[in-house]
Structure formats: C-alpha cells, structure tokens
Amino acid sequence: MKPFEYVRPSTLQEAIDLVVSNPKAQFIAGGTNLIDLMKHGIAAPEKLVDINHLPLKKIEKRDGFLRIGALVLNSEVASHKRVLDKHPLLVQALHAGASGQLRNMATVGGNLLQRTRCPYFYDRAFPCNKRVPGSGCGALGGINRMHAIFGVPVKPNPRSCIAVHPSDLSVALSALEATVWVLGPRGERQIPMADFHRLPNNRPEQDTTLSNGELITAVEIPDAVFPKHVHYLKVRDRASYAFALVSVAAALDIDQNRIKTARLAMGGVAHKPWRLFEAEKMLTGQVASETVFRQAAEVAMQGARAFEHNAYKLSVAPNVIVQALKIAAGLS
Amino acid sequence: MANTQLPPADPEPSLNRVDGRLKVTGAATYSAEYPIDNLAHAVLITSTIAKGRITTINAKPAEAAPGVLAVISHRNTPGVPAYPPVKQPAERAPVGTAFRVFYDELIYFSGQPVALVVAQTLEQAQQAASLVEIDYQTETHQTDFVANRSKAAIAANVQRNKTSPFQDYDRGDPDAMPSAEVKMEATYTIPTQHHQPLEPHAIIAVWEADDKLTVYDKNQGVKSAQGNLAQAFKLPRENVKVNAQFIGGAFGSGIRVWPHTVAAVLAAKQVRRPVKLVLGRELMFTSVGYRPFTEQKIAMGATKTGILTAIRHEGIGQTSAYEEHLERTILATRAMYACLNVSTRYRLLNLDVNTPTWMRGPGDATGMFALESALDELAFALQLDPLELRLRNHADADPERNLPWSAKSLKECYRMGSEQFGWKNRKPEPRSMQVDGMLVGYGMASSLYGFHRHPSKAKAMMQADGSVVVQSATMDIGPGTGTAMTQIAARILGVSPQKVRFDLGDSSLPDAPGQNGSATIPSVGSAVHDACKALKNKLLILGASMPGSILSSAWPDEIVIRNGRIYPTAESRSSVSYTDILKYHKLPQVEMTEESKSGPERDQYSMYSFGCHFVEVQVSPVTGEVRVKRVVTCADVGKIINYKTARSQSIGGVVGGIGMALMEESVMDHRYGRYVTSDFASYHIPVHADIPQIEVFFVDQPDVHVNPIGAKGLGEIAIVGVAAAVANAVFHATGKRVRELPITVDKLV
Ligand SMILES: Cc1cc2nc3c(=O)[nH]c(=O)nc-3n(C[C@H](O)[C@H](O)[C@H](O)COP(=O)(O)OP(=O)(O)OC[C@H]3O[C@@H](n4cnc5c(N)ncnc54)[C@H](O)[C@@H]3O)c2cc1C
Ligand code: SF4
C-alpha cells in the first residue's frame, strides 16, 4: 500500500473541494472495497477523504419518496422498519450480498460504486482495460465464467471490457427506479439509476456517469406500488457470501391477477444493472402465468451473447427470470 | 464384530480442548505473533511469468525508500550453504531437485519468489516492494494439463525403484475385463485445490548467534523442519530450534519447509535482525503446495449379479517441472474391494507450476472420488442398490497383500450409516424424489485410509506436587492432539486430566513425526501410553520400596489408581499417593522416556481405517444450484480417544469434502500460466450456510493388532469418499453424472 494522507472534512462542501482540488484524492466510506483495492495496488490515492462523519446517515420519508442517505449502512437499510414494510425487494437484495460483517461496514453510496470482481482487474500481472486502459482485456480470451452476456461488443476491440457490476443492491434499486442524488463542484443533480452505471464502450475505466469530486448524498426510491409482489433471486456458487452468477430483481403491481406494471432488472450479466425494459413492456397488461413469464424471459434474453465459459448464463438467466417472477406473483 | 446396537454417542464425557480457552480468547500465540525485539518485516515479491529468466532487477528505488533494510534476490543473497554453486550460464535444475530460493535467474512457475524486501515496518516493506522493477525474458511455458496430457510418463523415481507401489500393477487375469458381463468406463477429473487454512503461513527467523537459529514457523513437523533447516544452513541439528506450538489449520500445507521459510532465514542473516514474513492470501496459492490436478480413467467389469470381475484404474497427476510429487491416487483400488483382476497405472505430468503437496486424504480423496463414483455408475448399470453392490464386493481380507485385516468393521459402518440416514427410503430411479420443487438425491460412498505409525518418543514426568508433564515434539494443527494426549496420560496414570500438561510443537522435545498421514494418535499416542505406563511402573516400584508400604504385597494387576492415589485393590480403603512417594524418596520429579514403534505385526496384518458417508442433496431444477441437506458419516478407526475432538475431525473432513465436491477449484489462465482465483472471493470454500447437519458415528472398537492404544487415524479418512458421495447424490437427484469436480451450476444446466 502506498503511503497516503488521511483527512476528515466536516462539511460536504469541504469534502468535495478536497477531492476536486486533487485528482489523486478519493472519498472513503466503509472502505470494504477501497481498502482491498489499495492493498492490491489498484487504487493508490494520495489522499483519503473520510466522509463517514458527514450528515448523510438518515433514512427519511419524503413526499412520494423514501430517501436513504449515502452513508447509511447496508445492514441499517435492511433492518429499517419502513424499508422492510415498503421495499422488501431492497432487503432481499441486501441480504443476498456479502456477509453480515461486511454489511455492517458497507454504505449505500459505496455499494453503488464498488468495482468489478473480474480477477484480471484485481491482479496487476494481467492485462486489463479497466485498470490500465489500452492494456487489453484479460478475460475476453481468458477465463470468463463470471462475465457479461449483455452490452458486450460484437467485435472486440483493444479497449473492450466484459466485466459485470457486482452490486446486488444496485440491481434492486434499478428495478425500483431509484434516483441517485449527487453533490459536486457544479452543485446538486439527480441521476436515475438506469443512467448511473454505464456500459464500458471504449472507456471501461469509467464505471459510472459521476464526474470527479461528485459525492453521492442519497438515493431516493419512489413510494412503492410493489410492496407485495417482489422477489430478488440470486444464483451463486455457494449458499452465501458469493457474487451473483445471475440475479434477478422482479417487482410486479398486480391487480386481480393482471399485471399493471412490471419491473425487472438483472445482476451478474452486464457492466451495469441490466433493466429488462422490453420484457417489462411485454408483461404489462398480461395475466400473470408461467407461460407469460417464459415469453417475457425470451424477450429479455434477446441480444445476449456468451463467451467461452459463460454460455451457461444463457440457460440459467431465463429460468431465473421466470422463477423470480413466479415467486413475486405468488405462483410458486 | 457383532455389535448390533449403535454405540453410545459419547461413552464418557469428553475432555474439552485443553487449549480451547487460549484459542477462543486470542491468548494462543501463533507463529507471526511472537513478540520479538528489534523485529524487521519482510515482503515477498514473486514472478509474474511462468517460465523464463529474470533479466534485470532494479532495486534502487526500493532500497532508497524509507525504512528499507535490504532487497534480497539471487543477485545479492547471502546464499544457502547447502545449495551447489550456481552454474554460469544458469542451468535448469534436473527433475528431482527441490526448489532453491534466490538461487539463479531462472523462473520455474508464476508466483515463484524472486525477491524479498526487508524494512523496519510492514508498511514500509510493502511500499518498497511496489517499487522494485523486475524484467523477464519469457520462454514458452506449459501449464495446461489437458493440452499436455500425452506427455505424462512414469515418474523417474518410480522407474528407478522397482519396489515402488507406483509401478504398473496387474493382478489376475487380463482377459477378465473384455469378457465381463457388464462393463463401465469413465474418466474423472479433479481440479487443482488449495489447502488455504485460515492462518496464512508465517515465520519469524532469529539468528541467536552466527551458528544458532531459532524459527517460529507455521509447519506440521518441528523435527523435520529442524532437520531441513540444519541441513540447508549446515548447522548442527541442536543449534536449530523450531517452534510451532499453535497452528491455525494446515491440511498438509505445512508438511515441507517451503522456499519462503528459507527466504526469511536468509533475510535475517543478511540484515542481522530477526525477520518476520507472513504470506498474503494470494501467495498462499503458489507458495505452499496444493492438491494436484488429476485425471483418472476407471474401467470396471462385473457379473450381472454385481460381483466385480475386473477393475482398471489409471491416474495421471500433475507435478512441477523440477520435482516429482506422487500420491496414492490409484492405490486404494487394489485393496478396497474383493476383485481378483485389478490393474493400476500411475503417470505424472511435469508442468511449469510449483510442486503439489499432500492435502488432506492425499491421493485417496482423489482416487476414491473416481472409484466410488465409478461404483455408483456400475450400480446404476446393474440396476442394483449402490450399497448392496458394495456389500456384495466387500473384501474380507486384503486382496492386494493377501493378508487378514488387523480389524475391519466396514459392514458395521454401512449398517449404522444406512439406518441412521434412512437409506431404505431411497427410490432407485434418478430424478424420482422431489420436495418443494427441488430435486432430491441420496448418495453414498465408502472410504478407507491406510494405517501409519512412525517411531515416536514421549517423556512423562511426575512432579513432586502430583502434577504430570508429558512432552513430545509432535504437533497440533487443529485436531486437538494436546487434548487427546492429556487424556491418554491421565487415564494411565490415574490422575485427573487437569493435573496433566502436554507440551508439543517444540523441536527440543523428544522426537516425534510431523502431523500428517493421520499418524499422530497411532504413533505419538502409543509413545505417550508407553511413557506413562513406564512412569507408573517406576513410581509403583518406588512406592513399594517405602518401609511398610501397602504396595509391597500388591498384585500389579489389581492396583487401582484414582486421582493420583494408589490403592492395592479396588476395594482397599488405604492408599498411597504419588506425592507421598516422591516426598519419601526426596525426589523433585520422576521421569521416563519411551520410544514406541511398529513391530512384526506390520507384516502379519493389513491395516486400514474404514468408513462410509451418506449424503442427501437438493438440486434446483431452475438454477442448477446444489445444496447438501444432510450427511451421515461413519468410521471405524479403532478406539476413540476423545469423542468430541474426533467428532470435530469428522465434521471438518466432511466440510472439506463438500468443498471439494461443489466449489473448490483453482483456475489457471494458461496463456499466462497464472491463477485467476487467488483470493477467497474467487476460490470458494464452504461457508456456514453450505453446511447442513452432519451426524457422526464411530464403531469405537480397539484394533488390538495395531498399537497399544488400539487407535487408528481419523484425520484423513474423514474426507476420503465424501466428494463421491455428493456426486452420487447429485446423479440420483438429477440423472446427470458430473465427473469433473467441482459440481457447479454450469455443469448441471
Ligand atoms: C468478500 C466480499 C464479498 C462481497 N460480496 C458482495 C455481494 O455479494 N454483493 C454485493 O452487492 N456486494 C458485495 N460486496 C461488496 C460490498 O457490498 C462493497 O464493498 C460495499 O458495499 C462498499 O461500500 P463501502 O462503504 O465499504 O465503500 P468504500 O470501499 O468505502 O468505497 C467504495 C468506492 O466508493 C466511493 N464512495 C464511497 N462512498 C461514496 C459517496 N458517498 N460518494 C462518492 N463516492 C463514494 C469510494 O471513493 C470508493 O471508490 C462484497 C465485498 C467483499 C469484500
Ligand atoms: S473484463 Fe474488464 S475488468 Fe476484466 S479484464 Fe477485461 S477489461 Fe479488465
């Protein structure tokens, strides 16, 4: 680990100024991802700006929204009364992620910004476009069992990246159409979840649409029309404490068996939480049934492409979509 | 063995772990934790290429970094005295040469130690390590087992040794296979798997004088480490002290003295200060061995009634380019079942990787995965219950050596296990059992593990206050050795276990083998038994020689000792205590040292532990995820010394077996000859949620032929066969036979 300076600003503005004024400064929240990256020499901030004392730790009911501060711990979100009542999908997604100990340290903001778990990214002996742009993608012709099937280049180029975003929370937030609130050198802005993470295109080093110095202050979730018919289903290599091979967040607004609104997002399949817009459209107005869910899954899988080791995702993913929908709809 | 009842779960309350409190309160001192003055910290730099040579090492920026004491590499190493002079130009070491650290510029595997940075603090050493620039010239490497399979050959050291068990083996009629009524043939693969104990390997090396070395080193054998280091550094054996009192798991990773240990000793010499080196998790994948990638082909022939008529078992194991690591892979097949016609072949494939080593149940866990899977396949082909097939082929005597078993209660294990598990509820058809939309599968497998007993010494001392100290340079890598030895000593001497202290993990103690091959209880347990017995006899004689002693006319067989008091007979009211005896003779202590080892019985009997596992899995037809729901495991390992620690051993073995079956796999990107799974996020071992209820049963009958305590090894047999039982259960649940471990989602959808 490189020596670094540690500062603890007392206001949001001070924190932002510290990062803006030094391109090698970085915010640190729970540190569960950043410290690991520093140990591996992947992140080497000169200055760590500790935001843990900033006033971003509240969960508040707003008009039409639930606002969760960026520094609320994953475990706090998962045990908050209102979240449990109104947004059980979030709770399920959080419980499917990491371990109890990690969730006690991990913050909401940090969770959205955790970096990929692609092993080539983590080991500096390998090439990786995300770590060293232009060095090549180790996973593309290498071991890619965990990698993306959506949003991947048809023709790989020297800047390709086929990594997936590892966050479970983000998948649920996507399905719930949450908004990310950020404060930066140019003031405050709101970013819809769908636009927060990005596809790699030719800049895989950039995970999100945040600019330097922008601080996540909160996520806002619209009051749920789906407190009942939701499910987060995560397929993984062991029963707990493993990243998703494929996960699905399903939320349905059902009236007398007819689907009024459907929201679907997948994890473990793309460089960002993968919203299944077409499948959602297809489901709207339909009577909930396994057949319909199968059709939706088929629609959802259009455009998916596999690499040498992840073809199984093409078979598992539609099953998981159907199963998550069935459980959400109470058909299973 | 006509024990029709289930043995009681615990015939007498088990002694709790004598070091349990120390461990759970953090008071136990592990290798990296010794508070040593003036300690310097080292960080290892390892090669990023799999084969080639180092062309330049630029250590200048690192050497100039704050706190740095040295950057050691082949260019400036103080040298290991036992290494031969370096050739110019450097030459690749012939096969059979243990790896030499910082010897020359040649690279043999990715992850090879190439330099060591030593600094005042760990952080300074880490920072400086990132500043060392190393350039390589690469050569084409071969790490891909499958691509290189055709190069596998009989190991050179087997070719030289005509009595090696790894010679090609054929018994019986070579035509038995072609003419068999029912046949099966299949290939089974296990990937490279790593021990990855929780405690990483670590060493503190201290040169007490120019010719005196002390190391606090994580290993599984202080005596062998002492011998190895003495030889490497050309020191008198007694000048090397190795301390490894507490070990946070090892599973075989500590059987050898690895290069990093030698590197730390070199560094301490160079900087003339004690040096500490702790391996990071990623270095644990290339520094301390692993279970080798192994491919096995099994062919079986049987009669329609399920009598095995022929077995052929071929195994190819991976090893490094510089050493030959052989393991028992194909050997169990010769002894396990009563089959007249058996052939085995064993080949090695040298690859540009580091040398594998023994990992819990070495060879047998691998071989029995194949054999017991194959048997399940045969049972399916025969439409026969898998357990019934095993019973029909039960070997009543060792078919390989034509000797009687010293003891064997495998049938009793089958009976107990199947009853406890409810095997009779298994519907024979695969995919025929379901619960809550999940596919249910029942699978079973047998297990065996050879009996190992090595010459061992123990010293037993009775102190004036009636407390007992027993010492032996044995180890405790987790099974609870100290506890079991305390119990053996206490029982023989007739004192409460609280009065006994057992010392281990120190090379200055009486000679004992390292902790491997499940040999500790059989070997050291016997030595402790013998030493305590000798001590007791000596004390009884001393007691009888006291004037007017109640012991002078006592019959040795009738003497009873309770709580350190000796009664001439069980009914006697009067007694004399050990303390009285020592006091009378004005002795501060009385001690006896005994050596214990095998005798001619090794040639009269074939000695094994036996057992079996029954496993229930559930498989999701939607996602392909497999979860183990229930395990019943039974073992016949002779006398159980301590039920509680024995049970823990069995549970640990089953957990390891579940990991082996479902998740453990070290994946290498062969383009680079480098692992892509080098942390716990990618190398999966079971977590709590993966482990169901595990029920453990022991036959608990002493094997009177093996040693004075009647106990055989348990550590390894606990894992042997588990992976096959899981794979067989998965087949039963899904109808899909996975022959390539681990059984992951991608192989089932
Ligand atoms: C072994 C392991 C297993 C895991 N398994 C899972 C899993 O299954 N599912 C899952 O979803 N996650 C998993 N995680 C990831 C875990 O959820 C994240 O590490 C965690 O959420 C990160 O939060 P943090 O507060 O610790 O972030 P930090 O490590 O402090 O920060 C992460 C990044 O976010 C930036 N940052 C933090 N807060 C802000 C803010 N408010 N504004 C702007 N930038 C900010 C930091 O600068 C840094 O770049 C796992 C992690 C580990 C170590
Ligand atoms: S997939 Fe992305 S993160 Fe992984 S090696 Fe390729 S560029 Fe790097």
Pairing of strands B212-217, B456-463: unpaired
Q: In this model, does residue B615 exceed pLDDT 60?
A: yes
Nearest residue to B431 via CA among B193, B621, B697: B621
Q: Which atom of ligand 2 is nearest to the CA of A147?
A: 1
B-proximal residues of A, 90-119, CB under 8 Å: 99, 117, 119
Q: A262 to chain B, minimum CA–CA distance in Å?
A: 21
User: A19 phi and psi, to 5 degrees?
Assistant: -80, -40
pLDDT at A1: 77
Rg, chain B, Cα only = 27
Name the pTM for this structure: 0.97
Query: B535, B562, B597: which is the final residue of a domain?
Result: B597
User: A49 phi and psi, to 5 degrees?
Assistant: -100, 105
* Helix or strand holding residue B590 (H, E): strand B589-596
In DSSP notation, B152-212 reads -B--HHHHH-TT-TTS-EEES-TTTTTT-SEEEEEEEEE--B----SSPPEEEEEEEETTE
Find which of A42, A120, A123, A243 to mutate to test the B interface (most B CBs within 10 Å of its CB).
A123
Average pLDDT value for residue range B682-693: 97
Q: How confident is the model at residue A2 (pLDDT cuts 50, 70, 90)?
A: confident
Residue among B12, B601, B716, B740 flagged as catalytic: B716
Q: Which atom of ligand 1 is nearest to the CA of A113?
A: 34
CB atoms within 10 A of CB B235: 17
CB atoms within 10 A of CB B746: 17
Is B160 a member of any domain? no
Nearest residue to B474 via CA among B451, B517, B503, B453: B503
* Cis? peptide before B89, omega within 30° of 0: yes
Q: In this model, does residue B4 exceed pLDDT 50?
A: no
Structural domain of B580 = 20-28+454-597
CB A146, CB A245: distance < 8 Å: yes
Rounded Cα distance between B405 and B1, Å, is 13
Number of structural domains chain A divides into: 2
Distances from the Cα of A272 to the Cαs of A102, A206, A268, B217, in angstroms? 22, 11, 9, 46
Average pLDDT value for residue range B17-35: 96
Between A145, A239, A323, which is nearest B622 by CB? A323
pLDDT at B2: 35
CB atoms within 10 A of CB B304: 11
Q: Which atom of ligand 1 is nearest to the CA of B680?
A: 1
pLDDT at B13: 75
CB A125, CB B48: distance < 8 Å: yes
CB B534, CB B592: distance < 8 Å: yes
Q: A220 to chain B, minimum CA–CA distance in Å?
A: 30
User: A229 phi and psi, to 5 degrees?
Assistant: -95, 70
Is B630 a member of any domain? yes
CB atoms within 10 A of CB B529: 24
Is A152 a member of any domain? no
Q: The domain that contains B306 carries what CATH number? A: 3.30.365.10
User: How far, in Å, from the CA of B442 to the mean position of ligand 1?
Assistant: 40
Any residues with CB less than 8 A from the CB of B691 and at least 6 apart, and which? B628, B655, B658
Is A43 a member of any domain? yes
Same-domain status, B482 and B555: yes
- A291 at B interface, C-beta within 8 A: no
Residue B16, both tokens = 């709790």
Same-domain status, B232 and B134: yes
* Helix or strand holding residue B360 (H, E): none
Percent of chain A, pLDDT > 90?
Answer: 95
- B147 at A interface, C-beta within 8 A: no
pLDDT digits (tens, 9 = 90+) for B186-232: 999 999 999 999 999 999 999 999 999 999 999 999 999 999 999 99
Are A238 and B682 an interchain contact pair (Cβ–Cβ within 8 Å)?
Answer: no
SS3 state of residue A254: strand
Are A320 and B622 an interchain contact pair (Cβ–Cβ within 8 Å)?
Answer: yes
Pairing of strands B565-567, B294-302: unpaired
CB atoms within 10 A of CB B185: 13
Any residues with CB less than 8 A from the CB of B664 and at least 6 apart, and which? B191, B193, B194, B683, B684, B685, B741, B742
Is A249 a member of any domain? yes
**Which amino acid is present at B305?**
T
Same-domain status, B313 and B390: yes
SS3 state of residue B561: strand
Rounded Cα distance between A328 and B333, Å, is 51
Starting at the edge strand that comes first in sequence, how are the strands of the sheet with A59-62 ordered?
Answer: A59-62, A65-69, A215-222, A179-184, A187-192
Rounded Cα distance between B315 and B333, Å, is 11
Same-domain status, B547 and B611: no
Angle between helices B722-734 and B364-382 (to 10 degrees): 30
Q: In this model, does residue B7 exceed pLDDT 60?
A: no
Are B749 and A123 an interchain contact pair (Cβ–Cβ within 8 Å)?
Answer: no
> How many whole angstroms from its chain centre is CA B574?
48
Write out chain A residues lying below 8 Å of B627, CB-based. 239
CB burial string B415-452: b at 16+ within 10 A, e below: bbbbebbebeebeeebbebeeeebbbbbbbbbbbbbbb
User: How far, in Å, from the CA of A103 to the mean position of ligand 1?
Assistant: 9
| Residue of chain B minimizing CA distance to A116 | B681
Torsion of CA B89, B95, B96, B101, to 10 degrees: 40
Is A199 a member of any domain? no
Same-domain status, B492 and B510: yes
Q: In this model, does residue B162 exceed pLDDT 80?
A: yes
Write out chain A residues lying below 8 Å of B623, CB-based. 233, 235, 316, 319-320, 323
- Name the DSSP class of B396: S
Percentage helix, strand, coil for chain B under 3-state DSSP, each rounded to 5: 25, 25, 45
pLDDT at B10: 53
Verify whether ligand 2 is closer than 6 Å to residue A183 (CB atom).
Answer: no
Average pLDDT value for residue range B623-650: 97
* Helix or strand holding residue B589 (H, E): strand B589-596
Same-domain status, B361 and B480: no
User: B22 phi and psi, to 5 degrees?
Assistant: -60, -40
Structural domain of A284 = 230-329
Distances from the Cα of B432 to the Cαs of B322, B429, B439, in angstroms? 50, 6, 8
- B622 at A interface, C-beta within 8 A: yes
Verify whether ligand 1 is closer than 6 Å to residue A216 (CB atom).
Answer: yes
Q: The domain that contains A45 carries what CATH number? A: 3.30.43.10
Is A68 a member of any domain? no
CB A146, CB B665: distance < 8 Å: no
CB B57, CB B75: distance < 8 Å: yes
Same-domain status, B393 and B298: yes
pLDDT at A135: 97
Pocket test for ligand 2, best of A131, A132, A137, A307 (most atoms within 8 A of CB): A137
Number of structural domains chain B divides into: 3
Pairing of strands B212-217, B202-209: antiparallel
Q: The domain that contains A315 carries what CATH number? A: 3.30.390.50
Q: Which atom of ligand 1 is nearest to the CA of A28?
A: 30
CB atoms within 10 A of CB B662: 27
**Which amino acid is present at A117?**
R
Q: A141 to chain B, minimum CA–CA distance in Å?
A: 9
Percent of chain B, pLDDT > 90?
Answer: 98
pLDDT at B1: 34
Distances from the Cα of B335 to the Cαs of B183, B312, B364, in angstroms? 20, 13, 12
Any residues with CB less than 8 A from the CB of B521 and at least 6 apart, and which? B481, B484, B641, B709, B711, B712, B713, B714
Is A23 a member of any domain? yes
CB B690, CB B628: distance < 8 Å: yes
Write out chain A residues lying below 8 Å of B744, CB-based. 237
Rounded Cα distance between B270 and B293, Å, is 38
Verify whether ligand 1 is closer than 6 Å to residue A323 (CB atom).
Answer: no
pLDDT at B12: 63
Q: In this model, does residue A139 exceed pLDDT 70?
A: yes
Is A265 a member of any domain? yes
CB burial string B6-34: b at 16+ within 10 A, e below: ebeeeeeebbebbbeeeeeeeebebbbeb
Same-domain status, B384 and B354: yes
- Name the DSSP class of B450: E
CB B734, CB B430: distance < 8 Å: yes
| Residue of chain B minimizing CA distance to A309 | B746
Same-domain status, B24 and B47: no
User: Which residue, by CA, sits nearest to atom 17 of ligand 1?
Assistant: A111
Is A275 a member of any domain? yes
ipTM of the complex: 0.96
Same-domain status, B264 and B118: yes
**Ligand number, closest to the Cα atom of A34:** 1
Verify whether ligand 2 is closer than 6 Å to residue A162 (CB atom).
Answer: yes
pLDDT at A155: 87
| Burial (CB count within 10 angstroms: exposed 0-12, middle 13-18, buried 19+), residue B488 | buried
Query: B597, B624, B652: which is the final residue of a domain?
Result: B597
Same-domain status, B681 and B736: yes
pLDDT at B11: 54
**Ligand number, closest to the Cα atom of A118:** 2
CB burial string B354-372: b at 16+ within 10 A, e below: bbbbbbbbbbbbbbbbbbb
Q: How confident is the model at residue A225 (pLDDT cuts 50, 70, 90)?
A: confident
Q: In this model, does residue B154 exceed pLDDT 70?
A: yes
Q: What counts of helices (H) and strands (E) characterise chain B? A: 19, 29
Q: In this model, does residue B6 exceed pLDDT 60?
A: no
Average pLDDT value for residue range B16-26: 96
pLDDT digits (tens, 9 = 90+) for B74-128: 999 999 999 999 999 999 999 999 999 999 999 999 999 999 999 999 999 999 9
Same-domain status, B275 and B326: no
Residue B75, both tokens = 């260019």
A-proximal residues of B, 17-56, CB under 8 Å: 48
Rounded Cα distance between B398 and A6, Å, is 69
Verify whether ligand 1 is closer than 6 Å to residue A162 (CB atom).
Answer: no
**Which amino acid is present at B115?**
A
Active site residue B595: no
Find which of B141, B192, B745, B748 to mutate to test the A interface (most A CBs within 10 Å of its CB).
B745
Verify whether ligand 1 is closer than 6 Å to residue A196 (CB atom).
Answer: no
CB B130, CB A2: distance < 8 Å: yes
What is the pLDDT of chain A when averaged over all its residues? Answer: 96
